[in-house]
Chain A
Amino acid sequence: MKYAYYPGCSAHSTARDMHESALAVAGALGLDLIEPAGWTCCGATAAHQTDPVLAASLPTASLLKVRDMGLDMVVNCAACYNRMKVANHEVSTDPAMRKKVSDAVGRDYDGSVKVRHIVEVLLEDVGLDAIKNSIKQSLNGLQVACYYGCLLVRPHEVTNFDDPENPTSLDRLVTAMGGVSLDWPHKVECCGGGLSMSRTDIVVSLTDSIVGMAKAAGARCIAVSCPMCQINLDMRQQDIEKQTGTRHDIPVLYVTQLLGLCLGISPDRLGLKKLMVSPASVIEKIEVHANG
């Protein structure tokens, strides 16, 4: 199965581990991810908050490159995924916007490239049965809080990802890996996303409530699928401790990192050293089972 894989800018900075684990897992499951040459930044929250035409044009530049490849676009970063889908929606439903965008990009685009999140590909194209069959090491009952955040599920009429209030895609993957996915109320709460640097105060307060809730629900780790959620929930635990004295100490892993461990891929290849809160307890849980 061949896909055009859009890594997104964070794949080469804060979320190298998201990128590395996606490639490793794809390789193990026989997915062929091809990076479109010359892809550009999706513009993220910054473009969205600045100018609607800029916000639709930046993703379009990369969508056009994928259209030329004749493949579906697979995205791992939830923020890029959201911007790509919004751009598709805008150019296909608003003729005036389509004209402005084609003028800015220099080529006309109809919004027809199919954009999919890697989790959708894992569930729909690979399938839970195949995943279960490929698994070498179980999560061994590890209690996982699956956290979706905003960008995968909202706006639902645009992203059309799972159920917007109670999504279960990550939960189904975790269960297939032998983990226990927890029922908890903060699955689709917001972590503060792109305001991590500009409004750190807000982000620390939001992440404290999310990580605290996961812990109260019994989580031993949080599974995410968005680089902004990952860095906020993981890195801000230091700030939470400094400001409130509460030490949560909950590792925050990409679902592709968890899956990679279960597929027997080494922690190094999955970028696990990049996490701020050590995932040692998670790795140990998996290995104890594998060796015993």
Chain B
Amino acid sequence: MAITIKKSSKEVEGLIRRVEEISGVDLNLCYQCKKCTSGCPVAKMTESPPSEIMRRLLLGAGDELLGSDIIWACVSCETCSARCPMGIEVAAVMDALRILALEKKAEKQEGNVPLFNRAFLSTVRLFGRTYDIAMIAAYKLGTLKLMNDTEKFPTMLKKRKIALLPPTGADRKTARRIFKKTKQNKAGKE
């Protein structure tokens, strides 16, 4: 397939170097065998499969790569990393791209994965453990897709698959400390 790359030397340098820095991966090792793509469960559903992302990064792609749909379709299954004959942690490259996409506020963030992650983590920060109802409410309000999956809630409640009361017994103090410190740590870097 044809790969188009916008080359703007400043961004170019930045993206590949930042990806290597965050992921610890040497992108030069990739020799385009496409084994990562063959095993990737979401490759068929996305415009740019993992091997193409690797190639584009190497060819000097800039910030526009952060709009690739696979970044938020990737299910972190690590099949790509497990099967790469060069031992490249392709999944770590995906992690790095997600982090950069959030950092640079790339526009296309399909399916609200970041919003779900925030909703999830905010309950952990408050309670030390996840709290379904609060997490679902925060996520649903954020996406405004209130009706998705709601037909399952009555059954799930009946089967006690959703906890109504907040979790108790967690060491909330340590959890809060971890969130506070890692936030400071991140802020200090930027």
List 4 A-B pairs, minimum CB-CB distance, nearest first: A190-B77, A38-B171, A154-B78, A198-B116
**B140 — nearest CB in chain A belongs to which residue?**
A197
A190 x B161 contact (CB < 8 A): no
Max chain A Cβ within 10 angstroms of own Cβ: one of B41, B42, B111, B169: B41
CB contacts under 8 Å to B, within A184-243, are 188-190, 192-195, 197-202, 205-206, 231, 235, 238
CB contacts under 8 Å to A, within B35-66, are 41-42, 45
Max chain A Cβ within 10 angstroms of own Cβ: one of B42, B115, B178: B178
What A residues does B79 contact at CB under 8 A?
Answer: 150, 154, 188, 190
A155 x B130 contact (CB < 8 A): no
Interface residues on A, range: 35 or more
B175 x A193 contact (CB < 8 A): no
A195 x B178 contact (CB < 8 A): no
Q: What are some 25 contacts across the A-B interface (CB < 8 A)? A: A12-B129, A14-B162, A40-B124, A41-B128, A41-B175, A43-B124, A44-B130, A47-B124, A50-B99, A54-B121, A58-B178, A61-B174, A104-B177, A105-B174, A153-B82, A154-B78, A155-B82, A193-B77, A198-B112, A198-B113, A198-B116, A202-B42, A202-B111, A206-B42, A274-B161
A273 x B117 contact (CB < 8 A): no
From B45, B95, B171, B174, contact of A49 by CB (8 A): B95
A41 x B130 contact (CB < 8 A): yes
A46 x B178 contact (CB < 8 A): no
> A67 within 8 Å of B by Cβ?
no
From B111, B121, B186, contact of A198 by CB (8 A): B111
CA distance A57 to B186 in the complex (A): 14
What B residues does A154 contact at CB under 8 A?
Answer: 77-79, 81-82
What A residues does B149 contact at CB under 8 A?
Answer: 197, 200
What A residues does B76 contact at CB under 8 A?
Answer: 45, 48-49, 150, 193-194
> B25 within 8 Å of A by Cβ?
no
